[in-house]
Structure 1
Amino acid sequence: MAVGVSVLGAPAAAAAPLPTAPCDSGGVTAGDTELAATLNGRLAMKMRGYLDGYRVSCARAVVAAVRARGLPREAAVIAITTAIVETGVRNINREVDHDSLGVFQQRATWGSAAQRLDVAWATGAFLDKMLRRYPDGSWRTAVVGDVCQRVQVSKYPERYQPQAADGQLIVSSLWPEPGVPRAQVIARAKTWKPATAQRVPYSQTKKHGGYRTDGSGYVSMTLGLAKPGPITTALATGAHTRPIKMTDLLQGDLVIDPIGGNTARQVVIFDRWADAKRTSYWAYQQRSGYGTDHRVVKHGLTTGTQFRAYRPVRIR
């Protein structure tokens, strides 16, 4: 961006419109215009009432570029938040601030004019710099506004974070979150009749509804994973979960001990804390020697435990 950019992204009724280039080769769609009308009343900050079909087409192009890179939607939120501040999500094709161009107002040092006005290229360049500045996925735990600033190097770093919630709203509308609601995970857990005479018996070889009736099969059923379900060690990998702190557990998250043989490994589904001090919690589990259970446990809360907390990537 051009250091010193201050008003390109701020809608102003009295200002003359800035010249822009198309963001998508297919132009503005009827869906873009309809979404803009829907979002205008839901946005809270400076884009409220100013979103139109063209700006949505630009946001759509940015989001598509993030998805093409295989990055998660958090990366799209960072990119869209930046575009809100820099240009009001427009592909500005005249150098009105130094030599900055495009949806991110990238300077000439970023690339040629043609490259910076290509939203897919510009977004890729933005993401490349973000990944360089935040190695090993560290950007995912950083504050959105801080990431925007570290990539853009603006004179006005305080402007990004206030727009992050609107960035999230725009991205969520263009890239609906897949997966299973937490309440549905619990509802599915209850279908195996935990802690009743009708509970599903435990077995590592038998199936119920196509899922193995062991711990990992039960969890796979609640998350809607492919039948018969991955084994416990697979559930503890990035393909299905990411590690979290025990104190961050929410309903539907998992607590897993992936160590040892197939009779030693365990996985439970966190339901709720059993006491105010969080010394134990209610969990759903397909328990060896019993079957489907719902009981109070302390897995992961005691010294020397091999249990760790995980958040399913499919949960929302």
Structure 2
Amino acid sequence: ELFIDRPGSPVLVSRYLKNATEIDVDFISSSKKSVIAGISVHIEEAGTHSGDATMVLGPGRIDKETLNRIQDIVEKMRVNFNLSGLSNLQIAIKDNEIYVIELNARSSRSIPFVAKATGINWVDYGIKAMLGIDPDIKYSEAKAFFIKVPVFPFKRFRDMDVILGPEMKSTGEAMCCGETFQESMSKVIRIMKRDFKLKSVIITVNDMDKDEAIKIGRKLDKKGVKIYATPGTYSALKGAGIGATVVYRVKDLRSPGISEIIRNEDISMIINTPSESYGSIRDGFSIRNLGIKKDIPLITNIRFASELVDSILSGKGTQIRELGDYQ
């Protein structure tokens, strides 16, 4: 259609980078040097808007070699674009290759998060750099684990689909802290639902995510969590020897239907990753909409689901401390 509507016009065809890890790098530039303020690693794969992504800042999230390569890229950006003050670099890593997504020659929304996590006033350093004062500070990893958790307005805008992508949908964010990644991650569910208790889970995922869904299902089944699954996911779980109850799609007349289960059962969490088939798109939207109405934590990314379930099942108690104790 494009060739018909615009004959002779160039058409850009790009390939999406699948299953890559996205990273936000906040840094300061002066006329003489650059200093990284923080490196935040997305839990979701590259492709989710950074404002909607769940990001982790903490020790050991990237190796020394990758850090050196990132510092080299940052310095080249400073020199080639004559940067001054705060900047944000978004990169993706796949198969040990680093891809630059974009450079924002300005302060990013992640700067307040990085400042709180490190206990350093990076805005002050950024302003001084713009005034010609070189930052007398070096990059250092955070001592604990800090997770930026997006907050969404889906309860107010119920006709909006909750699937995350390149368009930002979140309207706020929270920060979870912990001495370990699992401790920090275990607090994330409390942002989603304060009185959360894991009793039963609905799993309905696309074909690409079924292998990971089996791993999640096996862990839940071992802990005695009741699992409901739509036919395709149920078959995958059953084939792996995982106990589950089949629930049928929204338009399917057989019982139990997934709408019935969401309305009438005490569902703790819904793991639903989108599929591109028409029926799955229709059902997926209905499932997610029902979950929001019932205030059920809804996970639409399998990588995030895996990390969240692991932290919940770890059984480690949540410790509440002052922010300064983690810095």
TM over 0.5: no
Q: Normalized against structure 2, the TM-score is what?
A: 0.25
Higher relative contact order (CA 8 A, sep 6+): 2
Q: Which has the larger radius of gyration?
A: 1
